[in-house]
Chains A and B, each alone.
Chain A
Amino acid sequence: MNGIHDMGGMHGMGPIAPEADEPVFHADWEAKVLALNLASNSGWNIDAGRHQIELIPAPDYLRMTYYEKWFRRVQELLVIHGAITPEELASGRPDPGAERKAPRLPAAMVGPVLRRGGPATREVDIAPAFQPGDRVRAKDLNPTGHTRLPRYAKGRVGTVVRDHGVHVFPDTNAHFQGEHPHHLYSVRFEARELWGETAGARDAVYVDLWESYLERA
């Protein structure tokens, strides 16, 4: 979707303002929100989780802090996936007669689960359509759902520099329409191809793009 989250190349967002000696969390509730997101996963995947944040209306998206978004996201996903009911979310108490569930992530599994992570590569034997050195154009795709093709790359021509192998496709996985794994490439776009003549003559932006985002140029 052409949402506010897709902000590469925008102006007007203000200064960066790095914070000296920044703590990992600025409040205990932020730490708890991170942990609740990881420990309560009730059937969603990383792409669906990202998309849920993209669905936050733009004015709210810009106003909310990172962990406020994560808090909103986990509440919505828990309801969507039936782990809790809207009534439980409103009341803060289990519905009368609700069956007690098993923990999604027992404490003993935290170490192993974080260490394993969630690899996105799949052992599928698919011939790559492109090779390093090939010139490719990012298609002008404008899906209303989740995508990882940033707006600034659409229609632009770049060069394949690396084949990352076969990766799960977020555009379908986010919507539980299957993983549809296919080749993912690192594509180099010259800065002037993206931003015009005022950009650095030698500079470049590298974007990881799935094969279905690309056509031969």
Chain B
Amino acid sequence: MAHDHDGHHHHHDGEGQEPPSDMALRVKALETLLVDKGLVDPAALDAIIDTYEHKVGPRNGARVVARAWSDPAYKARLMADATAAIAELDYEGRQGEHMVVVENTPEVHNLVVCTLCSCYPWPVLGLPPVWYKSAPYRSRAVIDPRGVMAEFGTTVPDDIEIRVWDSTAEVRYLVLPERPAGTEGLDEAALAELVTRDGMIGVRRL
């Protein structure tokens, strides 16, 4: 595992038993209990994990961006009603119920954060990376967006306005990056290859 364990476990008051020392064992114990009680269908767990490991991820968002770059009418629909335009590509549902797309231009750069928890547009970007959910990013993105972006190797000139979008409600934001120069000859599939997750969060420029 990529994180530290401090050796402490988080007791529920009144629990008389020492919990197992390892998260895997503790989670397995809860899973077994819930399956034994009939509350959880084990096949449902597999289906959920398969969805977020294999079916939903930033390639979805990249297709949306590439379509917007290639098709002006699609881009117009995307900017007017992002939820409906994204559903045209068959991406919809949990944590993407109310989508808004914010467009980078030569004058404006957009950056998305959730300072209060970890809100993120799952249908187009998948589950958020650890850094997006972590205290350093959540605390500083709103007060020091240029310093945050610098940690990703991104420099934004002072004459470009930075707009930080704090996802405090059920509205989810996707950044539409600027189409890179010199890509005029590329088709939609090739354009999608240029689009990165970090570009659609706004911490990097393409």
**CB of A97 closer than 8 Å to a CB of B:** no
**Contact yes or no, A84 B92, CB < 8 A:** no
Interface-lining segment among B31-39, B60-68, B72-80, B181-189 = B31-39
Given A31-B49, A35-B49, A86-B14: A18 and B152 interface contact (C-beta under 8 Å): yes
**Contact yes or no, B171 A62, CB < 8 A:** no
Contacts of B51 in A (CB 8 A): 110-111, 114
**Contact yes or no, B41 A71, CB < 8 A:** no
**CB of B126 closer than 8 Å to a CB of A:** yes
Nearest B residue (CB) for A4: B135
Within 8 A of B (CB), among A3-43: 5-11, 13-19, 22, 24-29, 31-36, 38-40, 42
**Contact yes or no, B39 A148, CB < 8 A:** no
Measured CB to CB, the residues of B under 8 A from A are 1-3, 6, 8, 10, 12, 14-17, 23-24, 26-34, 36-41, 43-49, 51-53, 57, 92-98, 100, 113, 115-118, 126-127, 129-131, 133-143, 145-146, 148, 151-152, 158-171, 198, 203
Measured CB to CB, the residues of A under 8 A from B are 5-11, 13-19, 22, 24-29, 31-36, 38-40, 42, 46, 50, 53, 60, 62-66, 68, 71-72, 74-76, 78-79, 83-84, 86, 88-94, 98, 100-107, 109-111, 113-121, 148-150, 152, 162, 164, 167-168, 170, 184, 186, 188, 191, 194-195, 199-200, 202-210
